[in-house]
Structure 1
Amino acid sequence: LKFPDGTPVDAHAIKWSLDRVVRLQGDPNWLVSAFLEEAEVVDDLTIKIKLQNPVGFFPYLTAVTPWMPVSPNCYSPDGFDSDSTCGGLGPYKIVRWERDVEMELEANPDYPLEPPKWPSIIVRYFADATTMRLALENGEIDVAWKTLLPTDYVDLEANPNVNVIESPGAYIRYICLNATTPPFDDVRVKQAISLAIDRDEISDRVFLGTHQPLYSMVPLGMEGHIDAFPKRDLERAKALLKEAGFSEANPLEMDLWWTPTHYGDTEADVATVIKANLEETGMIKVNLQSAEWATYTDNFGPGVMPVFLLGWYPDYLDPDNYTWSFAHSEAADDLGIFYSNPEMDALLEAAQTETDMEKRMELYKQIQELWVTECPTIPFTQGSLYVVTQKNITGVTLAPYMLFPYFLLERTE
């Protein structure tokens, strides 16, 4: 085995790659550094991985990008090159890349497994969904992926010239609440917000059925999921707000933050519907605030945003990836949530290190049940995956982990 530059893919390259991830401390290096104690070369074809603690989902981790080996002779050991075309060991190699314009891939002659069905792929980048849909309808592109608007999928379903392919997804949307900012340090207020949200309206009105209502941070279809959060109950929401000291004469005034472009053109509608849902209690007044993504994420650390919208694409398909980052005291600060609870920490740590799957799932049931009481975040929808192709394209395979294997695509003339 060898990388596109001819460097052998061996245990030395794997150790070098893992050590580099830890050393550079780039995001998301924690997928390695939080678990790896040491990587030791036994011989050219054997590497010994020593973990800091047992990890109940370790095989899933080894499939994520930071664990994938790269060439020590092509990548810098000391820095990042965000425009690198070095690539790794895969069915294709990168021939050309112009940032935010397009990338050209060519079949890798040194790939040891079955070669890709199509010898070359050009990946084009689009600034907005409208332009991408137009390119598809004009026959300029063969595949439209990530992401058209919900209205586009509805319209294109009726277009006889294209295929619309849907698959279950593991992408979730949720509200984050800064647990150190009053009154969101009061669980009654957070629970009231959860009870006031109309998840069905968000799914149907904003996402036109391309999302489903979600009642847990662990997504539908994943082992361990339970519908933990209760359905909408305005009367119960009002009662909790009243207990917390609010009324129609003394409403809770709050800012709800959202970001205009990162999640697409539907995000303004999501924020507007949630605002209307909360104000329907008669005890909450919502001011919508927005910031572009770079500023939005910069706001996490200082805790500028008391309540804000986020989405999560999985790093690995395990309940740990949907819970630890938001609710463990060592991780929640990074997302501007600042939540800390020793009981939650203990449950998350036990679930992460437990290797008996049945015991792990029982722990995640307890975690989800505690989540409803504590509300570090409030989940509201889960999105499906969609790809739209020309009629002569086959081999589309979608998996919940959000990656699209180009090497299976075929085109008939």
Structure 2
Amino acid sequence: MNSKTLVLVGVLLISALLLGCAQEKTTAPAETPTAEEVKAITIGVTDKITELDPANAYDFYTWEVLNNIMGGLMRYKPGTTDLEPYLAESYEVQDNGKVYIFHLRKDLKFADGTPCKAEDVVRSVKRVMNIAGDPSWLVTDFVEDVVAVDDYTVKFVLKKPISYFLALVATPPYFPVHPNYKADEIDPDQTAGGVGPYKIVKWVRDQELILETNENFFGDKPKTDRVVVMFYKDATTLRLAVEKGEVDIAWRTLTPVDIESLKKNANLQVLEAPGAAIRYLVLNGNESTEYPTKNKLVRQAIAAAIDRDEIVQVVYRNTYTQLYSLIPIGMWSYEDVFKQKYGDKNLELAKKLLQEAGYSEDNKLKLELWWTPTHYGDTEKDLAQILKSQLEATNMIEVELKSAEWSTYTDYARKSAMMLSLFGWYPDYIDPDDYTTPFLKSGANRWLGYPYSDPQMDELLEKASIAQSTEERTTYYKQIQQKLAEDCPIVPLVQGKLTIVAKKNIEGIVLDPTMIFRYYLVYST
């Protein structure tokens, strides 16, 4: 490794699953020395913060911010797929995996100096359970109860043994939050944070976020004292900002054309990491709606008409690859089930299925396809237009394109107000369950407006989550993927990678399987 602290770890190498044995204890490693510090670094993004509340925030970028101002009992060791204790100093697994006991560090404090103890962990987790926001299923589906044994001991009693519970504990719904958070309702603009390396000193929604070192943090001091995040309208303005030197780092999201151009800029470095970011199309089959996508034949016809090759080449300029399942390529249990069942641009099959559903060239299927302008970058409009063209190539479908900004878009999704909608996914935890349960399990997909519910699928997901061996779990996930292709509530499109553009003097950028950008590791020389 050269002098630059850059770690690009392929997310698809290995699943980080830790299942302790009864009475097993694991101790946190020693902290590493702090590298050269700098006064400030400015990061430019086109993304948006939804809510600064882990009880309801369920999008990739907001989770990134939360991971810089909060932390969990466990975390992924930066640059690896290895889980390690974080706010906990050790843990035990008892009762054949149904009970987890975490022993907290005794030096935990919130940013204002308020001590963080076991009761704060319990309060925060139960708050998530009671508010029942979008990510609450990550707790409620698994946790029967959580109690404070004493000031520094937290006990989780699970509904059933879960092979990946330690990975769940590393997600924001399990982060302890400051007592200033409202007890029984979502607190979207709360800046008190949790126990993390940074604290928020200023936030103007969709304009600016300023973080400064949390002097009460137990761990290493961030390598940059002050981080300024600037929110840009689109990729064009973000690209101009990094070219002019207004920002030190351009992050999520530049267009493929911009990236190609910026690679030629001698003053910049372009860092890329293979990853498990996926894009997909939701076909709303919620039975309470009047959408034609309730008909499985319609959903199958849409899947058959899609041409991923064109999407990869035209929209993403070969920076993405074709994806034929919700589980990403390279992760154990992946099966290219949509390729096997539908292929690409299979217009004859699409027409046949549409005819069976009662449609024709004289009686066309009318669809509404929703997309959001900035959250996924400037290519999103192109993606929506190409999908419209591909579906209308059947001569039996008419597509009306509709768009909404991200906060409105996610609200519409929760309310099941969109017939077809484009979304992307980044891992909550590194396991096939994270690419199936949030979409396909009844209740867990509330954030998408309950577009799909099937008892057989629920049973398969349940069996896969409690099976202990990878071999047995793989068998279940293959069945899950086959049923996904048959029922077709969601159509996988492409799988991509992450790209960061930075000034030449910026170091310490670490992209790991969680795809969370850790600001506290970044510094300049």
- The question of a shared fold, defined as TM-score above 0.5 by the shorter chain, is answered with yes
Query: Relative to structure 1, is the Cα distance of residues 398 and 4 closer, same or farther in structure 2, using a 3 angstrom cutoff?
Result: same
8 Å CA contact retained: 1:329, 1:338:
no
8 Å CA contact retained: 1:177, 1:337:
no
8 Å CA contact retained: 1:170, 1:401:
no
8 Å CA contact retained: 2:273, 2:499:
yes
1:137 aligns with 2:243: yes
Query: Relative to structure 1, is the Cα distance of residues 127 and 250 closer, same or farther in structure 2, using a 3 angstrom cutoff?
Result: closer
Q: 1:7-406 to 2 correspondence within 5 Å?
A: 7-72=114-179, 74-179=180-285, 180=287, 181=290, 183-230=292-339, 231-232=343-344, 233-300=346-413, 303-332=416-445, 334-336=447-449, 338-406=451-519
Measured in 2, the distance between the counterparts of 1:71 and 1:124 equals: 25
Query: Deviation of residue 293 (structure 1)?
Result: 4.0
Query: Deviation of residue 365 (structure 1)?
Result: 1.1
Cα deviations across residues 350-371 of structure 1 (Å, max 9, x unaligned)?
1123233322222111100111
Name the stretch that deviates more: 97-106 or 214-223: 97-106
SS in 2 for 1:188: helix
Cα deviations across residues 242-298 of structure 1 (Å, max 9, x unaligned)?
444444454433332333344332222111111111222233332323344455444
Query: Deviation of residue 160 (structure 1)?
Result: 1.5
Measured in 1, the distance between the counterparts of 2:414 and 2:194 equals: 33
Measured in 1, the distance between the counterparts of 2:464 and 2:355 equals: 36
Measured in 1, the distance between the counterparts of 2:362 and 2:149 equals: 71
Residue identity opposite 2:148 in structure 1: V
Task: Kindly report the root-mean-square deviation, in angstroms, between the aligned alpha carbons of the 2 structures.
Answer: 2.4
Residue 111 of structure 2: aligned partner:
4
Measured in 2, the distance between the counterparts of 1:13 and 1:301 equals: 29
Structure 2: gaps (5+ residues): 1-106
Query: Deviation of residue 79 (structure 1)?
Result: 4.4
Query: Relative to structure 1, is the Cα distance of residues 77 and 307 closer, same or farther in structure 2, using a 3 angstrom cutoff?
Result: closer
Measured in 2, the distance between the counterparts of 1:26 and 1:374 equals: 27
Measured in 2, the distance between the counterparts of 1:120 and 1:107 equals: 7
Name the stretch that deviates more: 290-299 or 403-412: 290-299
Query: Deviation of residue 3 (structure 1)?
Result: 2.1
Query: Relative to structure 1, is the Cα distance of residues 166 and 185 closer, same or farther in structure 2, using a 3 angstrom cutoff?
Result: same
Query: Deviation of residue 163 (structure 1)?
Result: 0.7
Measured in 2, the distance between the counterparts of 1:303 and 1:84 equals: 27
8 Å CA contact retained: 1:176, 1:337:
no
8 Å CA contact retained: 2:224, 2:522:
yes
Measured in 2, the distance between the counterparts of 1:90 and 1:301 equals: 30
Cα deviations across residues 124-181 of structure 1 (Å, max 9, x unaligned)?
2222222222121111211111112222111111212111111123322211122245
Measured in 2, the distance between the counterparts of 1:408 and 1:69 equals: 22
**TM-score with structure 1 setting the length:** 0.90
Query: Deviation of residue 18 (structure 1)?
Result: 1.4
Measured in 1, the distance between the counterparts of 2:397 and 2:131 equals: 45
Measured in 1, the distance between the counterparts of 2:239 and 2:374 equals: 17
8 Å CA contact retained: 2:117, 2:152:
yes
Structure 1: gaps (5+ residues): none
Measured in 2, the distance between the counterparts of 1:116 and 1:301 equals: 37
Query: Relative to structure 1, is the Cα distance of residues 6 and 115 closer, same or farther in structure 2, using a 3 angstrom cutoff?
Result: same
